[in-house]
Structure 1
Amino acid sequence: MKIEDLIKTDQPLPPSRKLLLSILHTTNLINDNMSEALKPFDISIPQFNVLRILRGQKGKPANLSTIQERMVSKMSNTTRIVDKLITKEYVERVVCEKNRRKVEITITSEGLNFLNEIDPVIDNTEAMLTESLSALELESLTNNLQKLLK
Structure 2
Amino acid sequence: MSIETDIKQTTPFKSPYQRLMVNLMYTSNWVADAQTQVLKPFGLTLQQFNVLRILRGQYPNPVKVSDITERMLDKMSNASRLVDKLVAKQLVVRTECPSDRRAVDVVITEQGLALLKRLDRRQNEWDESQQCKLTKEEATYLSQMLDRMRS
TM-score norm. by structure 2 comes to 0.93
Which position in structure 2 is the counterpart of 1:133? 134
2:2 maps to a residue whose letter is K
Shift of the alpha carbon at 1:4? 1.4
Distance 2:143 2:128 in 1: 15
Which position in structure 2 is the counterpart of 1:12? 12
Counterparts of 1:64-143 in structure 2, within 5 Å, are: 64-97=65-98, 99-143=100-144
Shift of the alpha carbon at 1:97? 4.9
* Structure 1 unaligned blocks of 5 or more: none
Distance 1:131 1:84 in 2: 37
Aligned partner of residue 52 in structure 1, secondary structure? helix
* Structure 2 unaligned blocks of 5 or more: none
1:3 maps to a residue whose letter is I
Q: How many residues align?
A: 150
1:39 maps to a residue whose letter is K
Q: CA 1:149–1:127 in 2, change beyond 3 Å: closer, same or farther?
A: farther
Q: CA 1:92–1:3 in 2, change beyond 3 Å: closer, same or farther?
A: same
Q: Is the 8 A contact 1:30 1:129 kept in 2?
A: no
Shift of the alpha carbon at 1:130? 4.7
Range that drifts further, 41-50 or 116-125: 116-125
Distance 2:82 2:128 in 1: 27
Which position in structure 2 is the counterpart of 1:147? 148
Q: CA 1:137–1:100 in 2, change beyond 3 Å: closer, same or farther?
A: same
Q: CA 1:97–1:57 in 2, change beyond 3 Å: closer, same or farther?
A: closer
TM-score norm. by structure 1 comes to 0.94
| Greater relative contact order structure (CA < 8 Å, 6+ sep) | 1
Which position in structure 1 is the counterpart of 2:41? 40
CA RMSD of aligned residues (A): 1.4
